[in-house]
Amino acid sequence: MGRRPTAGAVRVCVIDSGVERDHPMIGPVNASYVAVPVDGEVQVVETETGDVCGHGSACAGIIRSLAPACEIHSVRVLGESFGGTGDVFVAGLRWAVRQGFDVINLSLSTSRARFTGPLREVADDAYFQGSVIVASAHNMRVESFPWRFSSVISVGSHDVDDPDLVLYNPKPPVEFFARGQNVEVAWLDGGRTRNTGNSFATPHVTGLCARILSKHPRMTAFQLKNILYLTAANVRGES
């Protein structure tokens, strides 16, 4: 399933801890899935369970605020303590790519080197089929993936209180910075809280990508990254 050929609702997939349905800051969730080990392999199945720790809902609420008309789909790969396995993570991402989602939000990463190859393969598949992966850089100076791959859009955080402000980083590997400090986010049981970190900067860029794709549905991942660069506040200011 590839990118839709005409304009319509942009399909965003949040791979995280789940997304709480009908949260006031999120609204409807189009579908919810969970990646679970079954007989030695990981399968992705539908689930009625929403969010198990709040992190996924926080990301989904930010995306909704920037792209109100988008579809939000959830794939849960994390547990109640915000923990998970690399196998489940890779399987959930691979499944999402095969579904042809327009934008995939990854506010998580793995530092386990043995998953580098499989994640790179999946990220490349997404890039060539037209699915955009927006991935959070690690909050610490830690080698982790898939945000370091050139086939994804990597995001860190800045402290400016402007959800639309994106900054380009002239010193990669992190490519862009978005609002990620003291952000009010959706939380469990219809609540809200404030959080800080690259996890919450990433969905700002995901939402902006969804907004752009709603107007330009044929745009590729390469073109989207270029648009983010050209419209970044610190790049526009130099032109």
The string of pLDDT tens digits covering residues 146-180 is 999 999 999 999 999 999 999 999 999 999 999 99
Query: What pLDDT is attached to residue 1?
Result: 43
Helix (H), strand (E) at residue 73: strand 71-76
Q: What is the mean pLDDT of residues 24-47?
A: 96
CB 78 within 8 A of CB 20: no
Question: What is the topology classification, in CATH, of domain 11-236?
Answer: Rossmann fold (3.40.50)
> Closest Cα to residue 56, out of 18, 24, 87?
18
Query: What pLDDT is attached to residue 236?
Result: 81
Query: What pLDDT is attached to residue 35?
Result: 97
Q: What is the mean pLDDT of residues 201-207?
A: 99
> Starting from the edge strand earliest in sequence, which strands make up the sheet with 71-76, in order?
41-46, 31-38, 71-76, 11-16, 103-106, 132-136, 153-158, 176-179, 167-168
Q: According to DSSP H, which parts of the chain are helical? A: 55-66, 86-98, 116-129, 198-215, 221-231, 233-236
As a whole-number percent, the residues of the chain with pLDDT over 70 amount to 95
User: CA-to-CA distance for 103 and 100, rounded, in angstroms?
Assistant: 9
**Which residues does 119 contact at the CB level (< 8 Å), separation at least 6?**
90, 93, 110, 145, 146, 149
Token output for 86: 């690399």
pLDDT digits over 86-120, tens only?
999 999 999 999 999 999 999 999 999 999 999 99
Tokens 């849960």 correspond to: 76
pLDDT of 83 over the 90 cut: no
pTM of the model: 0.95
The mean of the pLDDT values for the chain is 94
* Cα torsion angle, 50, 193, 108, 235, sign: positive
Query: What pLDDT is attached to residue 3?
Result: 52
Residue 106's beta-bridge partner residues? 15, 135
